[in-house]
Amino acid sequence: MSDLIRLKNVEKKYKNGVTAIHNLNLAIEKGSFVFVIGGSGSGKSTLIKMLYREEKPTKGQVIVGGLDVAKLKNSKVYKLRRKLGIVFQDYRLLPKQTVYENVAFALECIGEKKDSIRIKVLKALEDVGLKNKVHEYPDKLSGGEQQRVAIARAIVNEPKLLLCDEPTGNLDPDMSMEIMKVLEDINKRRGTTIIMATHDKEIVNKMKKQVVTLKEGHLVKFKQKGKYEDEAI
Amino acid sequence: MKLFRMLGRSIRDAVKSVIRNFSLSLASISCITITLIIVAIAIMASYNVQNFTKEIERDMTIVAFLDNDATKSDVKEIEKEINSISNVDKYTYQSKQEVKEKMQAESDVFDTVLQNWSDEESPLKDTIQVKVKDVEKINKTAAKIESIDKVAVVRYGSGMVDKMIAAFNQVEKITYGIVIALIVVTVFLIINTIKLTISARRREIGIMRLVGASNFTIKTPFIIEGMILGIFGSIVPVLITMYGYTAFYNHFDGYLYSQLIKLIQPEPFIYQVSLSVIIIGIIVGMIGSSSAVRKYLKV
């Protein structure tokens, strides 16, 4: 399998002088499911942010799906964003729009046709198990369901890569596992590469996926079928 | 097709936003309305002033009174010299006899008085009336004509007309100053309206960015919103232009105070002014919204 993501000697230093990532080298293959773990300030979120070009690396190369993210002009960032889906801890849904409208919004913004929007949105909602809630508003849904809407919105454009920044951070263990099942299903059925930053030990240990461990901005370990190792963090 | 779809979406969003922030939109629209009313009046006034100053200038004539002893051959010589002056457009010669007949025809009083005068007693002189090409150089041309041999005296457009034109020009400049100041204030008000719309939709804009909406898609609804404010703001000024000017024109029968100040015919003038007012409204709206988008959206 070929690499979807490749980071070469990446360093990220913020304006306040804090270096969040030090000389990071990493290659992630297409179709993989990777956990990025580490304590607070380990650089997990910075790494995810660099992948969707919210942050630019200070040094080195970040290549996502053949695009050199660091060299991408601000006005062209949307080209990268259309190739990936992003899920956050706080769902980021539009409260005055229904489940269907929230998911459709992602396609409307990029000028997709109405017919095609309908087909894709219903398919995405089916994949996350919310086909029976299309007309509900977000505030009528549980946290887990809201996060599933956010996932549906992230995958509706059929991206090759799905980035998740602590998607279970606001959920109880049962709901968290529910979300993980949805993500695993997307990974298997759609072949979408998933990178998920988390500090949920139980999830990492149960899922037995690839694990990238970061500590103070350094890559400590990159293991297949890894575990959450406290001592490394 | 995709572009049309996106434009349709932007227009829909813009209209929604105008309705959602109705009170603020109304404030902007009112400000644009006031500005555009003044702009419309300024445009109409300045075109009318330009129109009648042109008319006055067109009527300005140099009258050269010839010496009493000027013979026919002298007249021909004078005509030749006048013709050689580059600023002279055309000229007409009137003998004192012709002037006398003309005056007698004009009124009975003149008729009686002039009949009693013999040729020697008559104060009337042979005249040559000269029209110039460039009115601003009328002084120099008059001086040149006056220096010609056998030309007794020269008269042309009085200083009062010059002063009137200068005063109108001054008023026009002040009006433009006020209009520019009002436009600047309006632009700032629109910037504020759009800024509030942007902050109300910050979450939505953030999501749009994440899902890969282009800058064009993000910016367009706000710019269209500014244009809509401009269009709404121009409705009342356009009505005032169309009906107000026509009523004004009809009330004064096309002349202001005297036959000297002739007003411009309402049609097609009012349509041209209305179109300019709408275009100015749209441009002002666009300038306000695009600078708000640049400032607060950072795209």
Q: Encode pLDDT of B125-143 as tens digits.
A: 888 988 888 777 777 888 8
Q: Using CB atoms, which residue from A78, A94, A111 is nearest to B207?
A: A94
Q: What backbone phi and psi angles, to 5 degrees, belong to A19?
A: -95, 115
Is B210's CB within 8 Å of A86's CB? yes
pLDDT category of residue B298 using cuts at 50, 70 and 90? low
Percent of residues, chain A, with pLDDT higher than 70: 98
* A227 vs A208: CA distance, rounded Å: 7
Is A106's CB within 8 Å of B2's CB? no
Nearest CA in chain A to B221: A109
Nearest CA in chain B to A110: B213
Cα angle, residue B157 at apex, residues B152 and B161 outer, rounded to 5°: 155
pLDDT at B64 > cutoff 80: yes
pLDDT of residue A58: 94
CA-based nearest distance A177→chain B, Å: 25
pLDDT of residue A1: 53
pLDDT of residue A126: 94
| Residue matched to tokens 């813009």 | B14
pLDDT category of residue B187 using cuts at 50, 70 and 90? confident
Contact B205, B263 (CB under 8 A): no
In B, which residues are within 8 Å of A79 by CB distance? 212
Bridge partners for B11 per DSSP: none
Q: How far is CA B153 from CA A116, B136, B190, in A?
A: 90, 20, 62
Is B6's CB within 8 Å of A79's CB? no
Nearest to B74 by CA among B146, B149, B9, B183: B149
* A208 vs A215: CA distance, rounded Å: 20
CA-based nearest distance B19→chain A, Å: 16
* B105 vs B286: CA distance, rounded Å: 64
Task: Give pLDDT tens digits for A65-86.
Answer: 988 998 998 888 999 999 999 9
More confident residue, A195 or B299: A195
pLDDT of residue A233: 64
pLDDT along chain A (233 residues), means of 10: 87 92 93 92 92 93 92 90 94 93 93 92 95 94 95 95 94 92 94 94 91 91 77 64
CATH topology for B61-156 is Alpha-Beta Plaits (3.30.70)
End-to-end CA distance of chain B: 24
More confident residue, B231 or B174: B231
pLDDT category of residue B198 using cuts at 50, 70 and 90? confident
Q: Is A184 exposed, middle or buried (0-12, 13-18, 19+ CB in 10 A)?
A: middle
Helix (H, G, I), strand (E, B) or coil at B131: strand
Residue type, A204: V
Instruction: List B residues 201-220 in contact with A (Cβ-Cβ < 8 A).
Output: 203-204, 206-215, 217
pLDDT of residue A166: 93
CA-based nearest distance B247→chain A, Å: 50
pLDDT of residue B159: 63
Q: List chain A domain ranges.
A: 93-158
- What is the DSSP code string of A172-224? -HHHHHHHHHHHHHHHHHH--EEEEEE--HHHHHHH--EEEEEETTEEEEEET
Q: What is the ipTM of this complex?
A: 0.88
Q: Using CB atoms, which residue from A52, A78, A153 is nearest to B214?
A: A78
Is B211's CB within 8 Å of A79's CB? no
**Mean pLDDT of the B148-173 span:** 75
More confident residue, B70 or A36: A36
How many residues in total does chain B contain?
Answer: 299
* B211 vs A79: CA distance, rounded Å: 10
Q: What backbone phi and psi angles, to 5 degrees, belong to A134?
A: -60, -35
pLDDT category of residue B157 using cuts at 50, 70 and 90? low
Helix (H, G, I), strand (E, B) or coil at A6: strand
pLDDT category of residue B241 using cuts at 50, 70 and 90? very high
Contact B73, B270 (CB under 8 A): no
Q: Using CB atoms, which residue from B2, B204, B212 is nearest to A82?
A: B212
pLDDT of residue A6: 94
Mean pLDDT for chain B overall: 84
pLDDT of residue B299: 56
* A53 vs A49: CA distance, rounded Å: 6
pLDDT at B76 > cutoff 70: yes
If one counts every other C-beta atom within 10 angstroms of the C-beta of residue B232, the result is 19
**Mean pLDDT of the B32-60 span:** 82
In A, which residues are within 8 Å of B204 by CB distance? 94
pLDDT of residue A33: 95
Q: Report the half-sphere exposure of B276 (CA within 13 A, side-chain side).
A: 17
In A, which residues are within 8 Å of B205 by CB distance? none
Q: Using CB atoms, which residue from A94, A110, A157 is nearest to B204?
A: A94
Contact A30, A227 (CB under 8 A): no
Residue type, B120: E
Q: Using CB atoms, which residue from B9, B210, B215 is nearest to A108?
A: B9
Nearest to A193 by CA among A214, A178, A205, A209: A209
Q: List chain B domain ranges.
A: 2-56+161-297, 61-156
In A, which residues are within 8 Å of B5 by CB distance? 111, 113
B123 interface with A at CB cutoff 8 Å: no
Mutation target to probe the B interface, by most B beta carbons within 10 A, among A54, A90, A91, A110 is A110
Residue type, B226: G
Nearest CA in chain A to B201: A94
**Mean pLDDT of the B73-82 span:** 87
pLDDT of residue A122: 96
Percent of residues, chain B, with pLDDT higher than 90: 16
Is A81's CB within 8 Å of B206's CB? no
pLDDT category of residue B240 using cuts at 50, 70 and 90? very high
Is B203's CB within 8 Å of A75's CB? no
Percent of residues, chain B, with pLDDT higher than 70: 95
* A33 vs B128: CA distance, rounded Å: 103
In A, which residues are within 8 Å of B9 by CB distance? 108
Contact A27, A79 (CB under 8 A): no
Contact B227, B219 (CB under 8 A): no
- What is the DSSP code string of B178-237? HHHHHHHHHHHHHHHHHHHHHHHTHHHHHHHHHTT--HHHHHHHHHHHHHHHHHHHTHHH
Is B5's CB within 8 Å of A111's CB? yes
* B61 vs B132: CA distance, rounded Å: 7
pLDDT of residue A182: 94
CA-based nearest distance B182→chain A, Å: 34
| Residue matched to tokens 């398919």 | A123
pLDDT category of residue B75 using cuts at 50, 70 and 90? confident
Contact A8, A60 (CB under 8 A): yes
Q: How would you classify residue B264: left for phi > 0, otherwise alpha for psi between -120 and 50, otherwise beta?
A: beta
B5 interface with A at CB cutoff 8 Å: yes
